[in-house]
Structure 1
Amino acid sequence: MTEPRRRFQTFDDPGHRKGPERIAALRAALREAGVDGFVVPRADEHQSEYVPADAERLAWLTGFTGSAGTAVILTDAAALVVDGRYTLQAPAQVDTGVVSVVPLAETSAEAWIGEHLGRDRVLGYDPWLHTPDGIARLERAVAKAGGSLRALPENPVDSCWAGRPKPPSGQVVAQPESLAGEGAEDKLARVRAALVADSCDALVISDPHNLAWAFNLRGSDVGHTPLALGYAILPREGRARLYLVSGDIDPALRAALDPIAEIGARLDLDEGIAALSGARVRLDGATGAVALKERVESAGGTVDVGKDPITAMKAVKNAAEIAGTREAHRRDGASVVRFLAWLDGAAARGDLTEITAVEALENFRAEGGDLRDVSFPTISGSGANGAIVHYRVTRETNRAVRPGELFLVDSGAQYPDGTTDITRTLAIGEPTAEMRDRYTRVLQGHVAISRAVFPKGTNGAQIDGFARLPLWRAGLDFDHGTGHGVGAFLSVHEGPQRIAKTGTVALEPGMILSNEPGYYAAGRYGIRIENLVLVEPREVPGSERPVLGFETLTLAPYDRRLIDASLLEPGERAWIDAYHARVREALSPLLDAPTRGWLEAATEPLGA
């Protein structure tokens, strides 16, 4: 394998166990600001999943590197509230003698504040890092404690952060219409029609994903997602105005947007908002900061906090985006199969570690062509590390992959024509009967989603249980959603669609989601199996209403060594065999002879 031109992942832990002195410095800054505590969410001013380096305040302060969590730092207590994905990871990264790790399932950040803030004490917050709904929840929590809430003009974490990175400045480029499938002018016309229907005069686009989709642009301001950070103001009539953090605008993009939009600097946003006097302005409830709301109101505008209509439009992929995504998965599948074949050899030689696996997989993807980034840091977990749902290997935690263990690798890539996300769990040596039982139950749930047929209007919550039923029968479950939405050369975690107990949005043809049930034996092993699926219309003879189903996009074999075929029903076995035949047919032309031979063996019919 040749080395890629650049590495997309590093294995340093940027704040591990450095919490005590940093939290002490923050408490000193809070005393100077005249407050008794401060809320530190894992967020930037757009509520993004992946944030620029200068917004990684929670990781710098506590050492916790997960993608979601909230720290509350008081003068005499501190807590980090995390969801079920991070209940194992957070205590391993945070000094729990200084910061208590609180599972969200037991106590929310607001409930913890209500119990610990104390009467007449002041809790500070950064108005750029919270939405209006989030602030309303904080206000209720603070009121319960008998305290008060105060917006701070400057984030006190920043004053403590020596060597804080500079804001991003990557180039902003055009996404070709051949891949986008629709011109920016036509997209904006659809958005304006939605504003008219909602009696709004303008939209403040605060989500960089929506900015990228609506204006057919891409950037590199954050890792793993091709975003240009910034905002846009879209009036019902007239040119839109973009306010981008980076000033490096590709001339071709500037020329393409010139008829429909002005491009300015992020620093000019306040000036643009000042022009909204008298306007009814839609602000996205999920990503619009309370600071934006306050600025619109100060300018004399009326804020309508609701849904940015772009979010729903972006979720439904058009024909060009679907075609590109299929092709990206074909190339990616070939790279993953090369990796899986290599992995078997490396494991047999005994020279496989979690980090060498990550590096090898990235190399294979780079050799496959058009790799722009990984779509998230690869989860490469052997043995007990595989039970940490969002485990991220570092040089400190890296371990050898040993015989008798399971190895879980969850990875994805960003290509100009599509975004991928795939998880495979692999046996290293001889698996135990329990491992095979649990793997097969997870696979049965995965296949149940793949085979699902459902009436139009069905939401993700209504089919989430399909993936859990085989585990429930054995008294088992998993503590994350079954599937998340995925973008088209955009975020690997895209809303509003999802397959989860909280998935209330109806699934529509053109939506792409993950299908990833799992099982986690804490301290021993983890199992997860993931493909991406496309919602598509289905013809059902005699159907009395429109029916939908899923096309599986991901192409890579399951580990037959972990399948207990005696647990499978005939329909499940037939689906797995048909999927393996499809994988073999689609990928064999892209592989060399030795890898084709490995794939043929890996995709033999069950029982053969």
Structure 2
Amino acid sequence: MYQTFDVTARPEQGPPRLQALRDAMGAEQLDGYLVPRNDAHQGEYVAPRDERLSWLTGFTGSAGFCAVLQDKAGVFIDGRYRTQVKRQVAQEYTPVPWPDVSLADWLKEQLPNGGRVGFDPWLHAAAQIQVLLRDLADSDIELVQMVDNLVDRIWQDQPNAPMQPVSAHAIEYAGESATEKCARLAKDLRDAGQTAAVITLPDSIMWLMNIRGSDIARNPIAQGFAILHDDARVDLFMAEEKLDGVSDHLGSSVQRKDPADFQTAVAALNGSVAVDKATIPQVLADALGERAVNSGDPCALPKARKNKAEIAGSAAAHLRDGAAVIELLTWLDAQAPGSLTEIDVVKQLEGLRRRDPNLRDISFETIAGTGENGAVMHYRVTDDSNTVLQDGDLLVLDSGGQYLDGTTDITRTLPVGTPSEEQRASFTRVLQGMIAMSRLRWPKGLAGRDIEAIGRMPLWLVGQDFNHGLGHGVGAFLSVHEGPQRLARASHVPLETGMILSNEPGYYREGAFGIRIENLMVVEPAPALASADRERDMLSWQTLTFAPIDRRLIVIEMLTREERDWLNSYHQEVAAKIRPNVSAEAQAWLDAATATI
């Protein structure tokens, strides 16, 4: 299987590791040390070698950091992980609600007389350090760059860096050659008066070079760095053994270089150099100094605006993925409550996806949380946490696949036996939010923050909400979480044609149940309205995900006529698109599941 169920960190491992780190801090005369989730590439996903936060604390979430002092250790987590962190860290660690409480404010409270706080400048983005220095300016707290990472110093069995081979990504899926991409972006650099761009995000490099890797589980990326010059040349800093099979694909305009030489090469650049201070490590920002221009990763927006080939590939992948999900739902409905565990469901779904020869991996660890586990937003089932699906529980099933032609991500919430009226009412409100966003038309130029509330309104009306964004960007056979596009309050990036995002409202009752419904959608020009004389340029969504939404959890009387019409139309489309591709048993199940309400 792609997925494993091993327990990767235990709370009891944290305290002795914490003490070892404090000893190392004492040897360096430090009063504090920062341990981020990030690696030197500053992406969301890290290799086992770079899982320093998890190794130290036991917390396995995809975002957060730990601030270790001699008498206190704060684990900073956002709203997605406030239930999970309680399960994973020992009492020696204090969960800190972030960003409600900033790191600077916490440090000033804990170190009122000042102190020396160390950090690894490769693992912290320049923008983070800039904000922290500004907010600590009125204190006697000093930030100290450490050449030697203190966690690495004490981590005796730290895994080796990944060295998996890279492969070419076919033009039929990419839709544009790497040469064309480099030329297009190089022109943008010249137009902006910039001589080069520093690129640290692995998914940006994969997109630019039309290559894919497997250094990080669930993500087809290879770790490396790149410099794009204004004449379209690329210096690619990646271990030589990864690139042996793509020499011809890369061509003569790509110079292969040792990653150890990257910092020196960055320091030697002349003129104005494009960087993204939200992702460039502080050590590289220091090397560039005033030459650094914070104009952003040049690949970010072009990568987010999927071309016709990428959209077609994603649509095709979703149809095949939907067939696998429907086979799973058919099988699941035939099992009696109490006869299955969460792991049984995960294994069955992965087995069905693996029938597709284009599958290369799952797109993230499948979330199959029943009962109170469903309220843990990013729950990962392990051999220790594995729970039986019992009558009256809900099952949150969030999963996806990495196919050669696209990346999928779908969530369905399912009843186990007979759901309660509270569960059904909450589910219906979540569904109403999902439908509202799916039906939305909006003026060009709006960002995710401008429209995200549409998907929350049915919950807000009864005092409910959820502590995650409404949606995230998704790559094309790349990272299942892709920026800069998001449906979130913090997102200032205008939505554009070709961007793929998730639409996933939810509701979570800690200790009881969770609910989430998710489809992926692509932004497209909105169809003209016959009644509009002078309509603004508008955008709308095209749905990519096709699988039934469980009608047993819907309180039909709560839906408006427009909401019913949307659901019936969606289910008709699911049946038409998926029915020819599933078994006879699944066809019969699908006919019933998509019947008109």
Q: Are positions 1:422 and 2:410 aligned together?
A: yes
- Once residues 441 and 413 of structure 1 are traced to their aligned partners in structure 2, the CA distance between those partners, rounded to angstroms, is 28
Match of 1:431 in 2: 419
2:360 is aligned to: 372
Asked whether 1:229 is paired with 2:217, we answer: no
Q: 1:30 aligns with which of 4, 22, 25?
A: 25
Q: Which amino acid aligns with 1:510?
A: G
Which of 424, 434, 440 in structure 2 is aligned with 1:452? 440
- The 5-angstrom pairing of residues 243-392 of structure 1 reads 243-245=237-239, 247-251=241-245, 253-276=246-269, 278-297=270-289, 302-346=291-335, 348=336, 350-392=338-380
**In the alignment, structure 1 residue 128 sits paired with structure 2 residue 119:** no
Q: Which residue of 58, 68, 77 corresponds with 1:73?
A: 68
Secondary structure, counterpart of 1:372 in structure 2: strand
Paired position in structure 2 for 1:61: 56
Q: Deviations over 1:393-426 (max 9, x none)?
A: 1222111110001110111111110000000000
Give the direction of change, closer, same or farther, for the CA distance of 1:349–1:439 in structure 2 (3 Å limit).
closer
User: Structure 2 counterpart of 1:415, which letter?
Assistant: Y
Per-residue Cα deviation, 1:328-347 (whole angstroms, up to 9, x for no partner) = 0001000111111111223x
Secondary structure of 2:429's counterpart equals: helix
Q: 1:472 is matched with which residue?
A: 460
Cα offset, 1:60, TM superposition: 0.2
Tell me the equivalent position of 2:189.
195
Judge conservation of contact 1:538–1:547 (CA < 8 Å) in 2. Answer: yes
Q: Distance in 1 between matches of 2:482 and 2:285?
A: 24
Between 1:506-515 and 1:12-21, the stretch displaced more is 12-21
- Give the gaps of 5 or more residues in structure 1: 1-5
The code of the aligned residue for 1:65 comes to T
Instruction: Identify the residue that residue 3 of structure 1 maps to in structure 2.
Output: none
1:592 aligns with 2:583: yes
Contact 1:127/1:291 (<8 A) preserved:
yes
Deviation at 1:264, TM superposition (A): 2.0
Q: Which amino acid aligns with 1:487?
A: G
Partner of 2:552: 561
Amino acid at match of 1:139: L
Q: Distance between the aligned counterparts of 1:102 and 1:538, measured in 2?
A: 43
Letter in 1 for 2:367: I
Residue in structure 1 matched with residue 169 of structure 2 by the alignment: 175
Q: Which stretch shows the higher mean deviation, 445-454 or 464-473?
A: 464-473
Partner AA of 2:262 in structure 1: L
Q: Residue deviations 1:99-137, cap 9 Å, x none?
A: 101111531222211211342410000000111111122
Are positions 1:538 and 2:526 aligned together? yes
Point out where structure 2 has 5 or more consecutive residues left out of the alignment.
none
CA distance in 2, matches of 1:463, 1:516: 14
Amino acid at match of 2:567: I
Give the AA of the match of 1:446.
Answer: M
Contact between 1:247 and 1:265, CA under 8 Å: does it hold in 2?
no
Output the amino acid matched with 1:293. A
Say which SS state the counterpart of residue 203 (structure 1) adopts. Answer: strand
Q: What displacement does 1:274 show? A: 4.5
Choose the corresponding residue for 1:496, options 480, 484, 488: 484
Task: Give the Å deviation of 1:16.
Answer: 3.6
Q: Would the aligned equivalents of 1:82 and 1:103 in 2 still touch at CA under 8 Å?
A: yes
Cα distance between partner residues in 2 of 1:237 and 1:551 = 37
**1:524 and 2:512 equivalent?**
yes
Q: Out of 75, 85, 89, which is 1:90 matched to?
A: 85
Match of 1:377, SS state, is coil
SS at match of 1:519: strand
Work out whether residues 86 and 390 of structure 1, in 8 Å CA contact, stay in contact via their aligned partners in 2: yes
Aligned residue in 1 for 2:401: 413
* Identical-pair percentage: 45
TM-score for both structures, normalised by structure 1: 0.95
Structure 1 counterpart SS, 2:299: helix
Could you report, residue by residue, the CA deviation over 1:189-239 in whole angstroms, capped at 9, with x for unpaired residues? 111122123221111111111101111111011111111111111111262
- Distance of 1:90 and 1:537 partners within structure 2: 41
Pair 281,15 (structure 1): closer, same or farther in 2 beyond 3 Å: farther
Q: Which amino acid aligns with 1:172?
A: V
How far residue 272 of structure 1 moved from its aligned partner, in angstroms, is: 2.5
- TM-score, structure 2 normalization: 0.97
Secondary structure, in 3 states, of the residue corresponding to 1:532?
strand
Distance in 2 of aligned mates of 1:257 and 1:267: 20
Deviation track 1:274-312 (CA, whole Å, cap 9, x = no partner) reads 441x32211222211011122234xxx722233112101
Return closer, same or farther for 1:11/1:358 CA change in 2, 3 Å cut-off.
Answer: farther
Whether the aligned pair in 2 keeps the contact of 1:454 and 1:548 (CA below 8 Å) is: yes
Amino acid at match of 2:16: E
Please give the per-residue CA displacement for 1:242-275, whole angstroms capped at 9, x wherever unaligned: 0014622243x21121232111221221342244
Report the CA distance shift for 1:528/1:195 in structure 2 as closer, same or farther (over 3 A): same
Alignment RMSD (CA, Å): 1.5
Aligned residue-pair number: 594
Q: State whether residues 183 and 232 of structure 2, in contact with CA within 8 Å, keep that contact through their aligned partners in structure 1.
A: no
Counterpart of 1:312 in structure 2: which amino acid? L
Amino acid at match of 1:218: R
- Tell me whether 1:511 sits opposite 2:499 in the alignment: yes
* Cα deviation, residue 166, structure 1: 0.0
Which has the higher mean CA deviation after the structures are superposed, 108-117 or 137-146?
Answer: 137-146
CA change 1:361–1:16 in 2 (3 A) is: farther
Residues 1:602 and 2:593 aligned together = yes
Task: Tell me if structure 1 keeps the 8 A contact 2:430–2:458.
Answer: yes
